[in-house]
Chain A
Amino acid sequence: MKDLFELSGQSELRSPSLVVGWSTDAGKLGSKVTDYLNKKLGSRDLGEIEPTDFSPLGGVTIEGNLVRFPESKFYACPQHNLVIFKGDAPSYEWFKFINLILDVAGHYGRVKELYVIGGMVFLGAHTAPRELLAIFNSLELKQALSQYNLGRNMNYQTPPGQRPTLNSFLSWVARRRNIPGVSLWVPIPFYLVAVEDPKAQKKLLEFFDQRFGLQIDFQDIDEEIRKQNERIAQVRDSSPEIDEYISKLESNLMLSEKENEKLVKQMEESLRGKN
């Protein structure tokens, strides 16, 4: 399988922990959080998975005026013994792809712990505090992370007609390989799903900061949160209708489908490109 991935250079990693984020995620959470970690920690390129076996490659997509090509990259932060993966979810050969992620990180000794990032849709207002939810693949890790207040005692089964996420698949494969792992989920207000949610990013980053002792200075992300709140406040000021919708959400009231659509459209138009 070596031809499916390419490692660049040596690394001083020893049984690292692995953080996984997907490029396509609600509120761009996976890519934003991994990019932020890489920037703050000064990570360096470790290698990548070739897309040939996992994407149709029948051309390219265009996003934000730019050509987009499937990319699945690993970054190393030896100082904190971390491997960070940011990638596009495969279109097929999921099991093989997931195993490759664990193989590459495992190249530097058995992966110590796996952390998978995911954003989920939340039907409430952006002013509500962000929560961090966790699904563990091992009871030991659940106990080890009990101090972070992640437990919600959640029971869940995929409803008929729906499918589990790739994060669940990854966690399951990790367990088969005796790698303790956790899927970390932050609910993102539905009208920020297609743009960004720095508040959700910070929630996750705070967890990683504590868990890995990163000592991150969050001033920049605090500034982003402030700016976004300001922009949303401007939208509310200029549109009584949007203000009413958000107020309803803040009072835990549901919006109609039409109101939801209007709010999403207005927020995307106002926030897109300004982030």
Chain B
Amino acid sequence: MGVKLYKELRLKNPDLIVGWPGIGNIGIVVVDTIREQIQAEEFGEIEAHDFFYPRRVIIKADLLKDLEFPSSKFYYKRFEKKDLIIFIGEEQPTNGGRMYAEGRKAYQMANLVLDVAERFGCQRVYTSGAAVAMVHHTLKPRVWAVPNKEELIDELKRYENTILMSEVEGRGGQGSITGLNGLLLGVAKKRGLAGVCLMGEIPDYLSGAPFPYPRASKSVLEVMSSILRIPIELSKLDNMDARVGEIIESIYEQLPEEIRERLEQRKFVVPTLGAITEDDQKWIKEHIDEFFKKGSKGDERPL
């Protein structure tokens, strides 16, 4: 188990941004959009076979040719003042059927990523993901920012459309960040490395949807772009957002009128925990999830 680096690099005060799949794929869309636009170059990977179950076997003429695993790759890009390292993991290592990483494997993965960050003199790490909130999908998602060091709080307050946990209604500054997006920041803190998690708001009723939520990715990208001082072209995300928006609207129209009316209230009031009851929330989520689950699931073929 370990890291394979394809080349030795000298990088200038780099920051690290990481992306993993998660709710609405908000974080990974952010990081992959940056990677694509700045044309970052791949320079290493974490060996996958000890972390993941393979995802594809290739057999040719009765011979097992290859077994493919979810990738966990490092990229870099040089800039004038500060270079950038990007890490993208196609899956979070889990124990069994859980969606998010936890436990020993997750801790090992977080440490391997940070080993590379420290080896190249990284100054800060940024993770990004979803903030499930009682908001409406037509509103611009805000970005919840959680630093791992107190001295970062003032800086984060300066970014537009960004709020701290203490400013999220009904939270009292408390919360949690599941999976590697959170764990990486914890491990970074343990190592004395500064880190921030940027989470784009996604409506609770869409958090189980099987498609991305680019609207929140766009909000996070805007903030990330300001922080890193890297201009990002957002038109591709806008197109994706328009397509996903149509799907969401068609589903939304099928919700019972009473529920829809209550959700509509979210458009006009500052979100509070009392906007709908917990029972309503559960009902909406269950019924929408049920709606999404109607697609077929293929059985595993034994090869």
Contacts and interface: CB of A to CB of B under 8 A. Distances in A.
A108 interface: no
B96 A91 contact: yes
Interface in A170-208: 171-173, 175, 183, 185
A118 B303 CA distance: 9
B61 A171 contact: no
A165 B303 contact: yes
A150 B63 CA distance: 12
Q: Describe A's contact surface by its main secondary structure.
A: mixed
A92 interface: yes
B63 A136 contact: yes
Contact of A152 (B56, B62, B299): B62
A161 B63 contact: no
Given A95-B50, A135-B303, A172-B67, A164 B57 contact: yes
A17 interface: no
Contact of A163 (B50, B53, B297): B53
Given A91-B95, A120-B301, A159-B301, A139 B50 contact: no
Contacts of A183: 64, 303
Contacts of B55: 158, 163-164
Interface string A132-171: 0011111100100000001111111111011111011101
A119 interface: yes
Given A137-B64, A156-B303, A175-B64, A162 B59 contact: no
A158 B57 contact: yes
Contact of B64 (A95, A119, A136): A136
Given A91-B96, A163-B300, A167-B302, A158 B64 contact: no
B60 interface: yes
| Interface magnitude class on chain A | 35 or more
Highest count of chain B CB atoms <10 Å: which of A26, A152, A172: A172
Contacts of B63: 135-139, 142
Interface string A215-227: 0000000000000
A121 interface: yes
A121 B301 CA distance: 8
Contacts of B56: 157-158, 164
A203 B60 CA distance: 24
B57 A157 contact: yes
A94 B69 CA distance: 13
Interface string B36-53: 000000000000011001
B50 A96 contact: yes
Interface string A105-137: 000000000000011110000000000001111
A42 interface: no
A154 B300 contact: no
Interface residues of B, number: 26
Contact of A162 (B58, B60, B62, B298): B298
A7 to B, nearest CB: 24
A136 B61 CA distance: 9
Nearest to A161: B298
B54 interface: yes
Nearest to B50: A95
A158 B67 CA distance: 10
A134 B61 CA distance: 10
Interface in A6-47: 26
A94 B53 contact: yes
Contacts of A161: 297-298
A76 B59 CA distance: 31
B112 to A, nearest CB: 15
Contact of B58 (A151, A157, A159): A157
Contacts of B299: 121, 162
Contacts of A167: 302-303
A172 B49 CA distance: 10
Contact of A168 (B57, B60, B61, B105): B57
A159 B300 CA distance: 9
Given A26-B302, A91-B96, A159-B298, A172 B61 contact: no
A96 B104 CA distance: 14
B67 A92 contact: no
Contact of B62 (A153, A163, A164): A153
Nearest to A137: B64
A164 B58 CA distance: 9
A25 B220 CA distance: 46
A154 B298 contact: no
Nearest to B300: A162
Given A135-B303, A158-B56, A158-B57, 9 more contacts: A94-B53, A120-B303, A135-B62, A152-B62, A153-B62, A155-B59, A161-B297, A162-B300, A169-B53
8 contacts: A92-B94, A135-B63, A135-B64, A153-B62, A158-B56, A164-B67, A185-B302, A185-B303
